A and B are shown apart, each in its own frame.
Chain A
Amino acid sequence: DVKVTQSSRYLVKRTGEKVFLECVQDMDHENMFWYRQDPGLGLRLIYFSYDVKMKEKGDIPEGYSVSREKKERFSLILESASTNQTSMYLCASRSQGRGTGELFFGEGSRLTVL
Chain B
Amino acid sequence: GESVGLHLPTLSVQEGDNSIINCAYSNSASDYFIWYKQESGKGPQFIIDIRSNMDKRQGQRVTVLLNKTVKHLSLQIAATQPGDSAVYFCAENLGSGYSTLTFGKGTMLLVSP
Give the interface of A toward B (CB within 8 A): 4, 31, 33, 35, 37, 39-43, 45, 48, 50, 58, 88, 90, 92, 94, 96-100, 102-108
Flag if B106 contacts A42 (CB, 8 Å): yes
User: A37-B4, A100-B51 known; A105 and B96 CB under 8 Å?
Assistant: no
Q: Which residues of B contact A (CB under 8 A)?
A: 2-8, 31-32, 34, 36, 41-46, 49, 51, 89, 91, 93-106
* Contact partners of A102 in chain B: CB under 8 A: 34, 46, 49
The answer for the CA separation of A3 and B79 in the assembled complex, in Å, is 30
B100 with A45: CB separation less than 8 A: yes
Is the CB–CB distance between B105 and A100 below 8 Å? no
Residues of B within 8 A of A104 (CB): 46
Chain B interface mostly helix, strand, loop or mixed? loop
Contact A99 B6 (CB under 8 A): no
Residues of A within 8 A of B8 (CB): 39-40
What residue of chain B has the Cβ atom nearest to residue A104's Cβ?
Answer: B46
Q: Is the CB of A99 within 8 A of B32?
A: yes
Interface pair A58/B100, CB less than 8 Å apart? yes
- CB pair A105 B43 closer than 8 Å: yes
